[in-house]
Amino acid sequence: MATPHKAVIHRMVTPDHVCPYGEKAVALLRENGIEVEDRWLRTRAETDAYMKEQGVETTPQIFLDGERVGGYDDLQARLKH
């Protein structure tokens, strides 16, 4: 598989909590030379609404070149780390 060029990550970043898996995902993407569009979910309500809308139970949610990969573990497997 060719290295993706762009990632979009939706992750929880609030005054009280920064998702550690979101931080790890952003770092992994950048380490692999992938451009990152980092979309913060800034409240619990915003995060819950996003998860409901997307039909997922966790964040972060990562997309590579427009294709949903899933969360951090899925990203690691996709990039073979």
What are the structural domains, with CATH classification, of the chain?
A: 6-79 (3.40.30.10)
Residue 81: the pLDDT is: 67
Burial of residue 69, with CB atoms counted within 10 A of its CB: 0-12 exposed, 13-18 middle, 19 or more buried = buried
- For 16-69, how does the pLDDT look when each residue is reduced to its tens digit (9 = 90+)? 999 999 999 999 999 999 999 999 999 999 999 999 999 999 999 999 999 999
Q: How confident is the model at residue 80 (pLDDT cuts 50, 70, 90)?
A: confident
What 3-state DSSP class applies to 10? strand
Name residues whose C-beta falls within 8 Å of residue 67's C-beta, 6 or more positions apart in sequence: none
